[in-house]
Structure 1
């Protein structure tokens, strides 16, 4: 089928679905100017990885971690949601979708208006203390780090190890978030996987859970993914433009 025919088909599936789950990866945010960290020139290609155990054990590792995160902060803090984010938020508001599961840490879905959001890898818009579990807005802490070059102390307990509220290499995904994501997918009859390579587990297992339940899998991604073989439809155009087209077909 042509892309236009696939778009019409996906719109019909959305209209017929009783429980649709949205799943997003980095591809939707690159259209807001946020680079994929894995891409050439991305933060992950320029700096060494700070693993979670090293962060916990080494003050120098914590300083290097904050230096890397502070650079990445510049790239996403001024970014705004794009048309794709806005369409997905509208679908939730209008009852077209149950909610949204994301691998992204930039918070753009919430800024666009999405409310039922499961952040598998946490959020870079907050910091958390590993010792007292308090959470804080990240902006003033990044400013403090840039001014002093020292990792800010926890504003609550004063001695705790302060970390961005994201999942680091070697750190487990939040169990409660992952369990809720699987519950959603186990009940879903349709999932739209958008802007994800679908190769990183356990997140990539979520569309498989929908398929196992007998639901449909729609993939919207520019490149091939690890789950193209199970997709009922694969759309490869620009994410924002394609979601706008699906929404227009849905409205008709």
Structure 2
């Protein structure tokens, strides 16, 4: 394992040599979205969280905690909703169109890979822009829920600081107590939850199985912007290592997967990935007659 701190050109040369063979599955984390204005939990732009993340058990059992979550998330969602894909997301999409990246697994809930043009992204932890009723199973858009919450809370326009990758913000208790939640419009009383995996909740088994299958068929697992602190994402690095699939990690700072990686690169993704795509993908046309990832079905 080598942690490369050399010149940028040397870093790109090494990474390009590994990716050029195709068959790449990307595993992305919050570090890929920092240049879109969404802070990482643990990276250089990490937000300082003064409260514990919401757990599924607390959300479903405690009405006050649920109101606190929605008040904070209602404000934070506006920042997430305005976020646009950055050059790193677009570079990954270009590599996918060129037939080099065959699948994308993301731990992020911001939807920015898809917004950048990548098809068939496996969103491991769900999407923050979708809402589900825990009683009747009805699904809806976060945009519609945002409209309803604005109507239920006129004048609730609190200035917020940093927003966490899950769309949560810090908010004073006095502000939380005046916030009103809303219920499902279909069944009338159902509890609404963003369609994301909370702490204490498990990723749906079919989704995990699909990711394991992608890793098993990969020629290379490329980790982008993840510290791999949580087992939810790290398990795919462990599976790749067990199967003999080479792992390359590009992240600012060490990760919990470094010991399993063939190569680790410490570099900002916003500069490295576009340079890599320029070198290997050009205008996004298929390289060497390779079938685009969307048609191949690995990522779709």
- TM-score normalised by structure 1 residue count: 0.91
Partner of 2:146: 142
Structure 1 gap segments, 5+ residues each:
none
Partner of 2:17: 12
1:201 Cα shift? 0.2
Residues 185-212 of structure 1 deviation map (CA, whole Å, 9 limit, x = unaligned): 1111201100000121031121222222
Partner of 2:103: 99
Residues 96-121 of structure 1 deviation map (CA, whole Å, 9 limit, x = unaligned): 11111011001111110111211111
- Report the Cα distance in structure 2 between the residues aligned to 1:222 and 1:181, rounded to whole angstroms: 24
Partner of 1:65: 69
Which structure has more RCO (C-alpha within 8 Å, separation ≥ 6)?
Answer: 2
More divergent stretch after superposition (47-56 vs 70-79): 47-56
Partner of 2:162: none
Residues 172-228 of structure 1 deviation map (CA, whole Å, 9 limit, x = unaligned): 112211111111111112011000001210311212222222221111101111111
Q: Is structure 2 residue 195 aligned with structure 1 residue 165?
A: yes
**Runs of 4+ residues deviating >6 angstroms:** none
Question: Per the alignment, in what secondary structure is the counterpart of residue 45 of structure 1?
Answer: coil
Partner of 2:25: 21
Partner of 2:163: none
- Report the Cα distance in structure 2 between the residues aligned to 1:232 and 1:206, rounded to whole angstroms: 15
Partner of 1:176: 206
How do 1:169-248 residues align onto structure 2 when only pairs under 5 Å count? 169-248=199-278
Partner of 1:123: 127
1:187–1:213 Cα contact (<8 Å) kept: no
- Report the Cα distance in structure 2 between the residues aligned to 1:100 and 1:220, rounded to whole angstroms: 15
1:251 Cα shift? 4.4
- Report the Cα distance in structure 2 between the residues aligned to 1:158 and 1:250, rounded to whole angstroms: 53
Q: Is structure 2 residue 39 aligned with structure 1 residue 35?
A: yes
- Report the Cα distance in structure 1 between the residues aligned to 2:231 and 2:30, rounded to whole angstroms: 15
Partner of 1:132: 136
**Higher percent of residues as helix:** 1
2:95–2:280 Cα contact (<8 Å) kept: no
Q: Is structure 2 residue 49 aligned with structure 1 residue 45?
A: yes
Residues 24-71 of structure 1 deviation map (CA, whole Å, 9 limit, x = unaligned): 0000101111112467883x7133443212221222222111112112
- Report the Cα distance in structure 2 between the residues aligned to 1:183 and 1:140, rounded to whole angstroms: 35
Question: Per the alignment, in what secondary structure is the counterpart of residue 246 of structure 1?
Answer: helix
- Report the Cα distance in structure 2 between the residues aligned to 1:88 and 1:29, rounded to whole angstroms: 12
Q: Structure 1 residue aligned with 2:181, among 151, 172, 177?
A: 151
Q: CA RMSD in A?
A: 2.0
- Report the Cα distance in structure 2 between the residues aligned to 1:231 and 1:108, rounded to whole angstroms: 26
Question: Per the alignment, in what secondary structure is the counterpart of residue 192 of structure 1?
Answer: strand
